[in-house]
């Protein structure tokens, strides 16, 4: 089996970050989303991975390389324009050949993994096996309708009036039959080749389509609030350690990880929280659910429930909460403010917080 990971989207819902970096490289608990995806794929026993890339290809290739660091072999497949998930399958056909494959959206988080579902697919080898998850409002997603015995009867992309709460969450297992289906469909009203249309074509042609419900935590990390929620969830399983320096005047409470080369001076850190390699935290209070990236500097600052990306500097700010601070951004205080602020600060930005 091979894998096809889709990382070509523009990420408009994650602006301003997606102006300067691909959404798949947004760090959660100090690791890019795309790395979690590749690790899950590897856990399926799949090491041949094709990654669909768009305009952010150089940054993705720099971060992932040839995959050897993660124990996989990566082939990059360019996509000039986002023309649909099924279009990605067409582009990847020379890489995929006639092999079975798993297709995985590169901004999806399924921390509990899909190994059991992959095992079901390998055992039965239906033409397609879709991964579904119950959601409160499936109107923005593809929806699977099942019969009383759990067989897929119909797929609908973004229905206005869903007849099911089982949403397709961006992981699909296919045999080579999918190539015949993709070649047979036409673009949808929004001008894209929809993978749901291709699977529906297989259904109409009499192919076996199975659905497996994923029971674990799932998050599409396409929006700021989703990124922060996922960060909280993953920090909840953080392995505490002090690999850097923490002076006697500092206090670590709960699950806290201080990476190698980081320094904590006269500060209080309440976990779950992580301070990345080479970062400096001085005279500060870091509250729960906070991930500080590599090479950051925090001085005389109070922050909680936030993500600070690599190289950022925050000084003299008495309260930041529910925020994402971009790479190499600078946030500093003007007049004294004794409250919490919520900030979404893009890369290389300078912010002064005043009364």
User: CATH assignment of 2-223, given 3.90.550.10, 3.40.50.300, 3.30.450.30, 3.40.50.2300?
Assistant: 3.90.550.10
Q: Residue 132 pLDDT more than 70?
A: yes
Share of residues in the chain with pLDDT > 90 (%) = 65
pLDDT digits (tens, 9 = 90+) for 228-270: 999 999 999 999 999 999 999 999 999 999 999 999 999 999 9
Mean pLDDT across 300-308: 95
Residues contacting 329, CB < 8 A, separation 6+: 309, 312, 313, 345, 346, 347, 348, 349, 350, 351
CA distance 65 to 307: 25
**Using alpha carbons only, what angle is made at residue 136 by residues 116 and 5, rounded to the nearest 5 degrees?**
45
CA distance 109 to 334: 38
User: CATH assignment of 236-353, given 2.160.10.10, 2.170.120.12, 2.40.37.10, 1.10.3720.10?
Assistant: 2.160.10.10
Burial class (CB in 10 A: 0-12, 13-18, 19+), 239: exposed
Residues of the chain with CATH 3.90.550.10: 2-223
State residue 349's pLDDT score: 58
> Which H/E stretch holds residue 204?
helix 195-204
Pairing of strands 320-321, 302-304: parallel
Residues of the chain with CATH 2.160.10.10: 236-353
- Give the model's confidence band at 279: pLDDT under 50 very low, under 70 low, under 90 confident, else very high: very high
State residue 53's pLDDT score: 94
State residue 24's pLDDT score: 86
pLDDT digits (tens, 9 = 90+) for 83-130: 889 999 999 999 999 999 999 998 899 999 999 999 999 999 999 999
The model's pTM: 0.88
Mean pLDDT across 63-83: 93
CA distances, 312 to each of 131, 192, 324 (Å): 38, 38, 11
């Amino acid at each position: 089996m091979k894998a096809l990971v889709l990382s070509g989207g523009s990420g408009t819902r994650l602006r301003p970050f997606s102006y300067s970096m691909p959404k798949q490289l947004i760090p959660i608990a100090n690791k890019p989303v795309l790395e979690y995806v590749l690790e899950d794929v590897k856990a399926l026993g799949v090491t041949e991975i094709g990654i669909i890339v768009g305009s952010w290809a150089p940054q993705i290739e720099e971060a992932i390389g040839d995959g050897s660091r993660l124990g996989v072999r990566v082939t990059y497949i360019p996509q000039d324009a986002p023309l649909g998930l099924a279009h990605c399958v067409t582009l990847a056909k020379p890489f995929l050949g006639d092999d079975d494959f798993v297709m995985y959206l590169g901004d999806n988080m399924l921390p509990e993994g899909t190994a059991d579902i992959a095992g079901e697919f390998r055992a039965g080898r239906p033409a397609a096996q879709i991964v579904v998850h119950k959601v409160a409002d499936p109107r923005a997603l593809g929806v699977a309708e099942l019969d009383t015995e759990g067989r897929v009867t119909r797929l609908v992309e973004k229905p206005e009036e869903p007849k099911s709460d089982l949403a397709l969450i961006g992981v699909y297992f296919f045999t080579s039959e999918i190539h015949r289906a993709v070649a047979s469909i036409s673009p949808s009203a929004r001008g894209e080749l929809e993978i749901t249309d291709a699977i529906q074509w297989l259904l109409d042609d009499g192919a076996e389509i199975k659905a497996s419900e994923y029971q674990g935590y799932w998050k599409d990390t396409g929006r700021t609030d989703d990124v922060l929620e996922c960060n909280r969830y993953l920090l909840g399983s953080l392995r505490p350690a002090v690999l850097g320096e923490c002076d006697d005047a500092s206090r670590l409470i709960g699950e806290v990880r201080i990476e190698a080369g980081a320094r904590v001076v006269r500060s209080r850190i309440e976990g779950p929280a992580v301070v990345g390699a080479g970062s400096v935290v001085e005279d500060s209070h870091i509250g729960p659910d906070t991930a500080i990236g590599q090479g950051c500097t925090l001085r005389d600052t109070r922050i909680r429930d936030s993500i600070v990306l690599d190289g950022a500097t925050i000084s003299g700010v008495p309260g930041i909460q529910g925020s994402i601070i971009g790479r190499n951004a600078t946030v500093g205080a003007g007049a004294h403010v004794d409250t919490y602020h919520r900030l979404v600060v893009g890369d290389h930005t300078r912010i002064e917080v005043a009364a």
